[in-house]
């Protein structure tokens, strides 16, 4: 009886934190799907905070869940005809090329350096979104050949950053698309579609050196699929554009500050 009690207590100490972690990931997927993001920028630090190794577990797991979240949300947005598939092609191609190159660079970059770079990029993107929150929506989309040149070039650099830092890159795609004339909701919906490819491309580059608990990954995937469907519905029907930008900016800056705090204090 005593041994059974010890086994139950030991299993409970393992299972309860994992259940809490899955619930946190569910909440993050709900939030990020509304913003057209996969969620890796928070999945990764949260996984790391629960004791998973940053490089071998947190980054590849975060990328995989990022792709699943984006895929689920993108399906919902595509059904609502909010995704610009043609405009997404240049970003998909170039970010798909850039992501594995960036992933290979992680082998020669320290964990601390990766986290600092991650935080700096998020502060820049978050500040930009907050500053643009009250600006009117773009009224004219650049011609396809002009925006393809801009978004294609930007997609290559975003793919490199995404692969290097273990993120999907959506938080950079969205501001870039708004800059070339996309309405905010269309930019978020199209970003979700683009992020699918860069996420799984980056994930594939990390698989060889990664360690997974496949049952845990399965349950997390179910959680993000359900949450992202709910989040996409809320974004389509309830969210105001200004709210999306403000949530986007505040979230990025908050996470960046938290990362800096963990590194330097």
Query: What is the structure's pLDDT at 166?
Result: 64
| CB-based contact 86:147 (threshold 8 Å) | no
State the pLDDT confidence band at 2, using cuts at 50, 70 and 90: very low
Average pLDDT in the 41-45 region? 81
CA-based torsion, 95, 99, 101, 105: positive or negative:
positive
**What torsion, rounded to 10 degrees, do the Cα atoms 159, 83, 72, 173 define?**
30
Three-state SS for 88-135 is: HHHHHHHHHHHHHHHHHHHHHCCHHHHHHHHHHHHHHHHHHHHHHCCC
166-171 average pLDDT score:
70
pLDDT of 61 > 60? The answer is: yes
Mean pLDDT for 51-65 is: 82
Which position has the token pair 């963990």?
262
Q: What is the dihedral of CA 173, 96, 162, 209, to 10 degrees?
A: 160
Q: List, for residues 192-206, the tens digit of each pLDDT value.
A: 999 888 778 777 777
Please say whether the beta carbons of 246 and 131 come within 8 A: no
Q: Say what the pLDDT of residue 11 is.
A: 44
Note the pLDDT tens digit of each residue in 218-242: 899 999 999 999 999 998 888 887 8
Show me where the domains of the chain are located.
Answer: 2-264
Of 60-64, 65-69, 256-260, which range is least confident? 256-260
């Amino acid at each position: 009886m005593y041994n059974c009690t010890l086994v139950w207590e030991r299993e409970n100490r393992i299972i309860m934190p994992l259940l809490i972690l899955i619930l946190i990931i569910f909440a993050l997927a709900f939030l990020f799907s509304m913003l057209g993001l996969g969620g890796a920028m928070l999945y990764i630090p949260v996984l790391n905070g629960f004791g998973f190794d940053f490089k071998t577990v947190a980054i590849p797991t975060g990328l995989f869940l990022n792709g699943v979240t984006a895929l689920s949300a993108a399906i919902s947005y595509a059904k609502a005809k909010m995704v610009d598939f043609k405009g997404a092609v240049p970003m998909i191609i170039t970010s798909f090329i850039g992501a594995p190159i960036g992933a290979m660079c992680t082998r020669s970059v320290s964990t601390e350096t990766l986290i600092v770079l991650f935080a700096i990029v998020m502060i820049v993107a978050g500040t930009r979104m907050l500053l643009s929150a009250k600006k009117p929506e773009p009224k004219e989309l650049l011609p396809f050949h002009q925006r393809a040149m801009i978004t294609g070039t930007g997609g290559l650099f975003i793919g490199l950053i995404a692969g290097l830092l273990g993120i999907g890159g959506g938080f950079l795609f969205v501001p870039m698309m708004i800059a070339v004339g996309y309405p905010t909701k269309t930019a978020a919906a199209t970003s979700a579609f683009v992020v699918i490819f860069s996420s799984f491309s980056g994930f594939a580059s990390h698989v060889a050196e990664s360690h997974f608990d496949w049952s845990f990954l399965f349950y997390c995937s179910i959680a993000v699929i359900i949450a992202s469907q709910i989040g996409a519905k809320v974004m389509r029907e309830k969210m105001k554009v200004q709210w999306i930008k403000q949530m986007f900016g505040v979230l990025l800056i908050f996470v960046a500050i938290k990362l800096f705090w963990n590194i330097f204090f």
